[in-house]
Amino acid sequence: MVVVGAGLAGARTVLELRAQGFTGRITVLGAEDVAPYDRPPLSKHLLDRPAPAWLSDELGADALALADDVRLGARATGLRVRPEGVGVLLGRGGDAAEVDADAVVVATGAAAVLPPAWSAALTLHTAADAVRLR
């Protein structure tokens, strides 16, 4: 099982898989280089809370500790469907790595798309965005 996305949905997926008795291998791929954190406090506490609210604290359990393989800073760029399973692509072109899976959960969330004329606009979606805005 590969869970693409290390945010709240990805963490809850890992927790629920283990709670339901799934004993197979779980790999979590997260695009950001930091451990999963709760996103709403990024905007609500931008100035008074310098560190993210870590999901392990918020959920009372460390979902990543329940996974067999956690790859932070690993941005999934595509899926390759084959008769024997699915490959999650990391990177593009000839340098793309592939993570094999029997099943994939896509829990990537969303990102803002800005019109080209708004190149100076800032968004607040990640911990890195919050640091930049401070």
Q: How confident is the model at residue 47 (pLDDT cuts 50, 70, 90)?
A: low
Residues in the chain: 134
Q: In terms of pLDDT, which residue wins out, 129 or 21?
A: 21
Task: Read off the CATH number of the domain in which 58 is found.
Answer: 3.50.50.60
CA distance 19 to 48: 35
Q: Which DSSP state fits 132?
A: H
CA distance 55 to 35: 8
Q: Is the whole-model pTM more than 0.85? A: no
Average pLDDT on 57-74 reads 85
Average pLDDT on 70-96 reads 90
Number of structural domains the chain divides into: 1
Whether residue 46 has pLDDT greater than 70: no
> Please, is 72 exposed, middle or buried when counting C-beta atoms within 10 Å of its C-beta (0-12, 13-18, 19+)?
middle
Query: Domain span at residue 78?
Result: 2-133
User: Contact, 116 vs 130, CB < 8 A?
Assistant: no
